[in-house]
Structure 1
């Protein structure tokens, strides 16, 4: 029995626009992020979304609330979907962290799965909580369509786990734009099939070639 999952990254924040590391930082959407999420909500308004889940951080909850409004759905919070914790690097500009922690940052970039920012969280720890959380959510909705709103790093790691991609390369090989849409068909016995990846055609001009349904 297949579950269709709309896996969504939250919209733009002031931190993401300024290239700040904002994993555990609990910040709101920027005005542009609300526009992006509203465009996605309009895109999904006629889809049969049966349930809506979100990381508990404000930027994801706000995105999920906008997506759920046309369906009369309130987001169900799932702690396992929260973003990676960047520890001492939280809320700092990437270029400043690279300059101050040059050796540590380079080592982390080379192996973000097993290494963590100082005082922060490894990719492996994120995967260990986020993948079971998503699988449990999907298992609770056989044959239904659900929406799940999470974060850039968390989504990339979950996709690696579901699709058999080496998670050590998640930063170099996968991207997630603000308020992007990924579509997965998930079966408890067969696993996951990726239907659509990192699609932002709802707030950029022109459809993406081959986009299914939505």
Structure 2
């Protein structure tokens, strides 16, 4: 049996500023660094063999936190990057809602049809995330692997893991920043052990409150 721990990167500056960052290579925010500390403590107990990550800085920094204190290989894979949203990149969500209302409605209600002008088609994200999942499973039979990626990319991956057709992407929930989902791959196929787990972040929220 192969075990996968899928991790969304910690909060980045684009998230903090409520901007669409997509392929924009932003840093982790100050709050995100608190999340990384909590995530590192949680993941220290996981018997990981290897970590795969998107090459964007916010994901790489999260991957380093996942593997902190251990000599684990961290492998960057382009397939794990976030969607490139063309003209949406760097725009605030309020601006997108007001000035690109039709595109935003597709993003919300029919994400499988979404493609921002000058950007990547959602179907491309689904295709490459499925490809890298198959590659990781093939290369690590019986292993314990962490995968660090982004909100939209992980949503596409989880659509596949839930066994939903791509056209039902809108029914797949989003993962929160620094959340963990555990998946097992056995002879019976893929099964979710737990999803979007943020129990390790509760101390941070209580402290800030």
Q: What TM-score comes out, normalization by structure 1 length?
A: 0.89
**1:142 alignment partner in structure 2:** 141
- Considering fraction of residues, name the structure with more helix: 2
Deviation of 1:90 (Å): 0.6
Give 1:205 shift.
Answer: 4.1
1:204 aligns with 2:202: yes
Q: Pick from 190, 193, 202: which aligns with 1:192? A: 190
Which residue of structure 2 aligns with residue 167 of structure 1? 166
Taking the aligned partners of 1:104 and 1:36, their CA distance within structure 2 comes to 32
Residues 14/171 of structure 1: CA separation in 2 closer, same or farther (3 Å cut): farther
| 1:173 positional shift | 4.0
1:71 and 1:170 map into 2 onto residues whose CA distance is 36
**In 1, are the aligned partners of 2:7 and 2:179 still within 8 Å (CA)?**
yes
* Offset at residue 114 of structure 1 (A): 2.4
SS in structure 2 at match of 1:75: strand
Within a 5 Å distance, the mapping from 1:44-63 to structure 2 comes to 44-63=43-62
Verify the 8 A CA contact 1:65 1:74 in the aligned structure 2.
no
SS of residue matched to 1:8: strand
Pairing 1:125–2:124 present: yes
How large is the Cα RMSD of the aligned pairs?
1.7
Contact 1:108–1:117 (8 Å) recurs in 2: no
Partner Cα separation in structure 2 for residue 173 and residue 48 of structure 1: 28
Is 1:104 matched with 2:115? no
**Large movers: runs of 4+ above 4 Å:** none
Partner of 1:77: 76
Taking a change above 3 Å as real, the CA distance of residues 42 and 88 of structure 1, as seen in their structure-2 partners, is same
Match of 1:16, SS state, is: helix
Contact 1:4–1:186, Cα closer than 8 Å, also in 2:
yes
Shift in Å at residue 167 of structure 1?
3.3
The 2-side partners of 1:41 and 1:53 are apart by 16
Structure 1 residues 120 and 11: CA distance shift in structure 2, 3 A: same
The 1:152–1:43 alpha-carbon spacing in structure 2 relative to 1, beyond 3 Å, is same
Distance 1:166 1:185, change over 3 A: same
Between stretches 47-56 and 71-80, larger displacement belongs to 71-80
Matches within 5 A, 1:13-92: 13-92=12-91
| Contact persistence 2:181–2:195 (CA under 8 A) | yes
